[in-house]
Structure 1
Amino acid sequence: MLRSMNDLEDYAIRATDGTIGHVKDFYFDDQAWVIRYLVVDTGSWLSSRKVLISPIAIGHPDWTEKVLPVSITKEQVKNSPDIDTEKPVSRQHEIDYFGYYGYPFYWGGAGIWGGGIYPNMMMPDYAGFESKPLGEGPGTDEAYARADTAQHQHDDPHLRSCKEVMDYHIEATDGDIGHVQGMLVDEETWAIRYIIVNTSNWWLGHQVLIAPQWIQDVSWSDATVSVNLTRQAVKDAPPYDSAAQLDRDQEIGIHEHYGRIGYWTTETKHENTKPGR
């Protein structure tokens, strides 16, 4: 099911021994278009320190109570690496973060989360999962981890704040079509499936959905997203109703309108086992 990113703000993050805080923002990967971290305000118990929570740790959400349970403790969060969420998160920060929690790295695999599409399948205790290739002798695994860390410590992680891209202009091949109003996120993979576009500056009272795969370019300095679609194609597309749940038939209609292949077909090969949340 797809959830509006705006609706997920202020959800409570519940550790195994109590509430950590509330979601205030998200960091997404601007290449894979996947939510990599939730930015959580810890409130009074950690002097409103903001911490990052990976979807890898998130269990089955309580949508009614607006709670996201995580498989970590408050003490772990308290002692986690301090990251300034007001500045770009470097790959070295990510390596320190993943090392602290004992998570395998998400980058370098064939899927959006390592070798697959579900983040909690990367947990070290997930059935059938190996976090890294097994060595043939003592010390080999440790040597592999050190070499992998050294190789990736200067990588550009391409992380962006979801709040930052709100109101970015959307440009079609023949002119402006509106601005970013929100995003729809897959609740199981944490992939951003659609950008919600408000077209009110040229087509009053309408919202349409644009998939990240249709983006040609993003100019972060100009706050502009360019898509490989015409204004007429966007105007003729099925409208989006934010008050109704988007179903697969509607998604198929949108993709067929633009003559594009659905993400659900290209990801099937990575979906060997559905996570038991």
Structure 2
Amino acid sequence: MKDLQDLAIGATDGTIGDVKNLYFDDDAWVIRYLVVETGSWLSSRKVLISPIAAGTADWSTKLLPVSLTREQVKNSPIIDSDKPVSRQQEMDYMGYYGYPYYWGGAGFWGEGASPGVLMSGYSSLGVGQSLEQPEVAAADATAHHDDDPHLRSCKAVRGYHIHASDGDIGHLQGLIVDMETWAIRYIIVDTSNWWLGHQVLIPPQWIQEVSWADGKVSVNLTRQAVKDAPHYDAAAALDRKQESRIYEHYGRPGYWESGE
């Protein structure tokens, strides 16, 4: 999460600004929007950028390119990023950029696993145009107008208390995001309150309940299982071998085995 918040966002014709926060879907545990603070060119206004437009991040320069122009961003719907984002605002946003809705399918993004599938076939359209017939789009908008988009701030959840089935185990230090699907693969748990200060990774699928009002996350693991789990080293790259060790420790199949 910290690395993502350090990224600059580059449009096709110049820099847009820097990532200051991210909104994730607390139902699917997927990043839905980057909150980007623009520079002086747009009076430092905060705008939302969907991973649908994102390219491949260049970590050496800390730049994430997006398939948008600065003019598109400038004229995009104004959404107050300090307030909850409604489904209607999402519809306006998607309609403006000509994106299909990401909700309603079996995948993370519609019927697909990656946000790029929602961009396919849309690049030739103008701003605000959609492949959907007007009648279909109108019916869809009416049906989902009052849906809860389940969007949460990544910044806000940092520091949440983590509870095992038999007691406290630490606090949420950060999130690890799969940049291909933008799925949150792990929450980083800092156990320094209880043990020797190491960090461990827990997949969000093992979360039983989140009390947003109290800032508490309950997981269906024991304290001992978490204590004995492989330590996470933020300075080292997380590869499939290390991920396998985590799942093997808990005796559970990896997400890659189920095609997630």
Normalising by structure 2, report the TM-score. Answer: 0.95
Candidates 210, 213, 219, aligned match of 1:227: 219
Query: Hey, what's the Cα distance between the residues in 1 that align with 2:39 and 2:140?
Result: 36
Q: Provide the rounded CA distance (Å) in 1 between the counterparts of 2:73 and 2:87.
A: 20
Pairing of 1:98-113 with structure 2 (within 5 A): 98-113=94-109
Give the CA deviation at 1:118: 0.7
Matching residue within 67, 70, 90 for 1:71: 67
- Measure, in 1, the Cα distance between the counterparts of 2:90 and 2:257: 31
Q: Give the Cα separation in 1 of the matches to 2:141 and 2:33.
A: 20
SS of the residue aligned with 1:95? Answer: helix
Contact map agreement 1:104 1:124 (CA 8 A) in 2: no
Shift of 1:198: 0.3
The corresponding residue for 1:178 is 170
| 1:192 corresponding residue in structure 2 | 184
Q: What is the deviation of 1:10?
A: 2.7
What's 2:126 paired with?
Answer: none
Report the 3-state secondary structure (helix = DSSP H, G, I; strand = E; otherwise coil) of the residue aligned with 1:182: strand
- The gaps in structure 2 that reach 5 residues or longer are 124-129
What is the one-letter code of the residue matched to 2:214?
D
Count of aligned residue pairs for this structure pair? 254
Partner of 2:208: 216
Structure 1 match to 2:127: none
Q: Deviations over 1:143-170 (max 9, x none)?
A: 1111001111110000000000000000
Shift of 1:25: 0.3
- CA displacement 1:200-247 (0-9 Å, x = unmatched): 000122100010000000000000000000000001111111111111
Q: 2:178 and 2:62 mapped to 1: Cα distance? A: 16
Q: Which runs of 4+ in 1 moved over 6 A?
A: none
Which whole-Å deviations, capped at 9, do the CAs of 1:236-266 have from their partners, x for residues lacking one? 1111111111111111111111122211122
**What one-letter code is carried by the residue in structure 2 that aligns with 1:13?**
I
| Correspondence for 1:240 | 232
Q: Does 1:250 align with 2:242?
A: yes
Backbone CA RMSD of aligned residues: 1.4
Q: CA–CA distance in 1 between the matches of 2:259 and 2:92?
A: 29
The one-letter code sitting in structure 1 at the alignment partner of 2:109 is W
Distance 2:104 2:33 in 1: 18
SS in 2 for 1:244: coil
Identify the residue that residue 62 of structure 1 maps to in structure 2.
Answer: 58
Matched ranges for 1:1-277 at <5 A:
5-125=1-121, 141-267=133-259
Secondary structure in 1 aligned to 2:218? strand
- Secondary structure of residue in 2 paired with 1:176: strand
Q: Is the 8 A contact 2:159 2:173 kept in 1?
A: yes
**Greater RCO, CA 8 A, separation 6+:** 1
Superposed displacement of residue 126, structure 1: 6.7
Partner of 1:274: none
- d(CA) in 1 for partners of 2:76 and 2:131? 22
Report if the CA contact (8 A) 1:117-1:267 is conserved.
Answer: no
Q: Which amino acid aligns with 1:63?
A: W
The answer to whether the 8 Å contact 2:37/2:46 transfers is yes
Letter in 2 for 1:237: A
Deviations 1:84-132, CA, capped at 9 Å, x for gaps: 00000000000000000000000000100011111011114279xxx86
Q: Which amino acid aligns with 1:23?
A: V
Q: What amino acid maps onto 1:123 in structure 2?
A: M
